[in-house]
Amino acid sequence: MRIENIRIDYEKNSANKGDLDLYDVKIMPVRWGATPQNALDENNPEDKKLLDRFLPEPSLEKQPELHIHIVVPNEFQTWGKYNIGITAGAEFTAVRPEWLEGLNRMDLNIVPSEFTKEWIVKTKFDKTNEETKEKIGELILEKPIEVLFEGYDESIYGKGSTDDDINTELNSIKENFCFLFTGHWLQGGLGNDRKDLGMLIKTFLETFKNQKKQPALVLKTSGATPCILDREEVFSKINLNLG
């Protein structure tokens, strides 16, 4: 589950409260495809703080001072007095015109890498008159964009955390060097799935097939609905590429 929509109203009389209690925070969770919304546990005190702020339905009593929208840019909405769009962006060197239009709706945009920012800024499209087909301008990014790297929760992913099953699997790899891929393996045949994972496997096999010291390729992946059937489908896709 991804938290994609956050509304914040400031409370002036809350100087001694915790971070979340300093503001009237409302959260609108939005589904991503068919992925399950089971990441938060109401028995976990930290998760409970978030769950207590979920809106039962997507409606607001008043316009929020600050609206933070975390989705793909073409879905950005300006529901607040000040609107921030946060997006992972693209894995390639251009973005769709609908994305630029969405980014231009926001007061500020935030992306996780200089690569993403660079290609959003560089992308341009001609605006044409539909009747005369003459160029009347350019569609470019017109709103501020900043980079904020994606961090992690050290209490969950810190150096002291261990997972015996994962360690056993990693220790069983005989190769001295490993490439790691992390991401969903979504719809589409070879060369057409969103992360191009099928082509990654094909390129890896072709590149290192005649090497004396071959590296390993570790895939941390799943489809949109992690389950046994999903796992078997991933194995089937891998075997197809190996064939």
106 vs 85: CA distance, rounded Å: 6
142 shares its domain with 167: no
Higher pLDDT, 139 or 224: 139
Q: Are residues 42 and 138 in the same domain?
A: yes
Q: How confident is the model at residue 226 (pLDDT cuts 50, 70, 90)?
A: confident
Question: Of all helices (H) and strands (E), which one includes residue 211?
Answer: none
Q: Are residues 143 and 180 in the same domain?
A: no
Q: Is the domain of 11 the same as that of 120? A: yes
How much is the average pLDDT of 135-158? 85
Please tell me the total count of domains within the chain.
Answer: 2
* Residue finishing a domain among 121, 147, 173: 147
Is 157 inside a domain boundary?
no
CB 205 within 8 A of CB 199: no
Q: Which domain holds residue 78?
A: 3-147
> What tokens appear for 228 in the block?
């046994």
Q: Same domain, yes or no, for 46 and 97?
A: yes
Share of the chain above pLDDT 90, in %: 37
Per the domain annotation, does 85 fall within a domain? yes
Write down which residue in 147, 174, 192 finishes a domain: 147
195 shares its domain with 137: no
Q: Which two tokens stand for residue 147?
A: 């980079």
> Is the pLDDT higher at 158 or at 125?
125
The residue behind tokens 């991804």 is 2
Task: Assess whether 139 and 174 both reside in one domain.
Answer: no
> Between 152 and 1, where is the model more confident?
152
211 in any annotated domain: yes
Please tell me whether residues 184 and 143 are part of one structural domain: no
**67 or 188: which leads in pLDDT:** 67
- The residues, any chain, with a CB within 8 Å of residue 160's CB and separated by 6 or more, are none
Task: Identify whether residues 181 and 119 lie together within a single domain.
Answer: no
Do 10 and 129 lie in one domain? The reply is yes
Mean pLDDT computed over every residue of the chain: 84
Residue that is last in its domain, among 93, 114, 147? 147
pLDDT of residue 14: 46
- Looking at the structure, do residues 104 and 203 belong to the same domain, yes or no? no
Domain check: are 99 and 213 in the same one? no
